[in-house]
Amino acid sequence: MKKVMVGNHAVSWGVKLARAEVIAAYPITPQTQIVEELAEMTADGRLAARFIKVESEHSAMAACIGAAATGVRAFTATSSQGLLLMHELLHWAGLGRLPIVMADINRAVAPGWSIWTDQNDTLAQRDTGWVQLYCETNQEVLDTTVQGFKLAETVDLPVMIVLDAFFLSHTSEPVDVPDQAEVDAFLPRREARLKLDVHDPHAFGALTTPAVYMELRLRQQEAFDRAREAFAAVDREWAERFGRGYGALESYRTEDAEIVLVTSGTITSTTRHVVNERRARGERIGLVKVKMFRPFPTGPLRDALSHVPAVAVLDRNISPGHGGIFAEEIRAALYDLPPGRRPRIDGYVVGLGGRDVTPAVIEDCLERTRRSQAEAAAAAANGGAEREIAREDIWVGVKP
């Protein structure tokens, strides 16, 4: 069934199809529509879930933790300040290995107050032990939400579904809503291996001495390693059943490319447009979209980007004192490729606090990389020093 819906409602429909059993959430712009729609769905019986209208996001995540530890499917949604307030509990869910699914609408962080998009809220949660999946379209949002539950429950890790404020959250697109029975076949009711159960009592999260803590962390790390393959399997099964798959990474027109732009979120769609225009003019430009940020798709990125002469990473985020976070991580992932297969990587910081990333901004990044690439090639031809890899990221579309 096709429906026209905003990204927020694509999340709500995904949650409904996944038959979440406990929802605990708190309003925050631009996420609130998710909660409002789920409140309606649970009130009128379309979704048989308990809805806890908590008094803060901290309590929203804590309530999801209690529910997931009791073996049911739990969901919440938030954004920006709300996600930041959850931080302690994100670690709790992560290291507690609870398969909670949460949608976060990427919104810039205060002060000053901003409700517009950038990725600093979710990227600040990088090390909390959550899988992170970034979406480009509302269809992808709905699909990834349902997939997220399956992935979470397969590897016992919480999963964060990430979408851009307004560009997705409040933008209407046609979305194919899968049939409930087919989703039920894809995602049966959650059966937890361990849970709070009076017939099988266990204590969770007790004092963990130095003799065992590292192993706890190692198990978590192994789960993240498994999550790569598990996501691929979930995505494959989804594609077989519903005809759509996304991959941890998507290479778009990268064959023979001289420059590949790397993006995540909705900047990807604008970049596709730029790539298509350039290709029409015979320029060898390609795109790699990063959907999965944790676990980091190191292998697929190396496959996609080795042999590409130059890469331009567009970061809608900033790690103050360092640079764009995707660029940082991609450089680290590719650093030990042999020289000759290691692309030159330029990082661009764009679109913070919801500033538009127009085709002109993307072209600006592209031209800068083309120039720096030409300079590096000329220097190499003159027997110059080996090109540098780690350089300062450039802020594009910003007033000095």
Note the residues at the interface with ligand TPP (CB under 6 A): 27-28, 57, 81-82, 85
Q: How far is the CB of 80 from another protein (least distance, A)?
A: 11
Task: Rank residues 39 and 337 by Cβ distance to ligand TPP and give the closer one.
Answer: 39
Is the dihedral angle over the CA atoms 231, 214, 334, 332 positive or is it negative?
Answer: positive
Instruction: Identify what 383 binds: another protein, ligand TPP, none; CB under 5 to 8 Å per kind.
Output: none
Which residue in 27, 66, 245, 309 binds another protein (CB under 8 A)? Answer: 27
Which residues have a Cβ under 8 Å from the Cβ of 324 and sit 6 or more positions away?
313, 314, 315, 317, 318, 347, 348, 349, 393
CB of 113 to another protein, least distance (A): 6
With CB under 5 to 8 Å by kind, the binding choice for 43 among another protein, ligand TPP, none is another protein
**CB 221: neighbour CB atoms within 10 A?**
12
Q: Is beta strand 172-176 parallel, antiparallel or unpaired with respect to 344-349?
A: unpaired
Closest to 9 in 3D by CA, of 138, 187, 137: 138
Q: How far is the CB of 165 from another protein (least distance, A)?
A: 13
What single letter denotes the amino acid at residue 112? G
For the chain, count helices (H), then strands (E). Answer: 13, 15
- Enter the tokens of residue 268: 């990807």
Q: Provide the minimum distance between the beta carbon of 8 and ligand TPP in the complex, in angstroms, as a whole number.
A: 15
236-241, long-range: CB within 8 Å, 24+ apart, which pairs?
237/186, 238/143, 238/146, 238/147, 238/186, 241/178, 241/182, 241/185, 241/186
Angle, CA of 321, 346 and 304, to the nearest 5°: 120
Q: What is the DSSP string of 162-180?
A: EEETTTTTT-EEEEE---H
CA distance 196 to 65: 11
Question: If binding is defined by CB under 8 A, does position 319 make contact with another protein?
Answer: no
Closest separation in Å from C-beta 29 to another protein: 5
The residue count for the chain: 400
Could you tell me which stretch among 33-41, 122-130, 138-146, 300-308 binds another protein (CB under 8 A)? 33-41
When CB distances are held under 5 to 8 angstroms depending on the partner's kind, the choice from another protein, ligand TPP, none that residue 39 binds is another protein
53 binds another protein per the rule CB under 8 A: yes
- 235 binding partner (options another protein, ligand TPP, none; Cβ < 5 to 8 Å by kind): none
Minimum CB separation of residue 87 from another protein in Å reads 13
Q: How far is the CB of 324 from another protein (least distance, A)?
A: 25
The stretch among 22-30, 190-198, 258-266, 334-342 that binds another protein (CB under 8 A) is 22-30
Q: What is the dihedral of CA 324, 328, 331, 335, to 10 degrees?
A: 160
* C-alpha 65, offset from chain centre: 21
Smallest distance from the beta carbon of 105 to ligand TPP, in angstroms? 12
Which of residues 6, 15, 34, 35 is near another protein by CB under 8 A?
Answer: 35
Name residues contacting another protein, limited to 62-121 (CB under 8 A).
81, 85, 110-113
Binding region for another protein (CB under 8 A) out of 34-42, 190-198, 231-239, 344-352: 34-42
171 binding partner (options ligand TPP, another protein, none; Cβ < 5 to 8 Å by kind): none
| Shortest distance (Å) from residue 25 CB to ligand TPP | 11
Residues 6+ apart with CB under 8 A from 58: 85, 86, 88, 89
Cβ neighbours for 207, distance < 8 A, ≥ 6 positions apart: none
Q: Which is nearer to another protein, 36 or 258 (CB)?
A: 36
* Per-residue interface string for the shown chain with another protein, residues 232-251, x marking contact by CB under 8 A: --------------------
Distance CA 216, CA 220 (A): 6
Residue 260, H or E segment: strand 259-263
Look at residue 159 and give its three-state secondary structure: strand
State the binding partner of 222 from another protein, ligand TPP, none, CB within 5 to 8 A by kind: none
* Residue selected from 4, 56, 204, 322 as contacting another protein according to rule CB under 8 A: 56
337 lines the binding site for another protein (CB under 8 A)? no
Contacts with another protein by CB under 8 A lie at: 26-29, 32, 35-36, 39-40, 43-44, 53, 55-56, 81, 85, 110-113
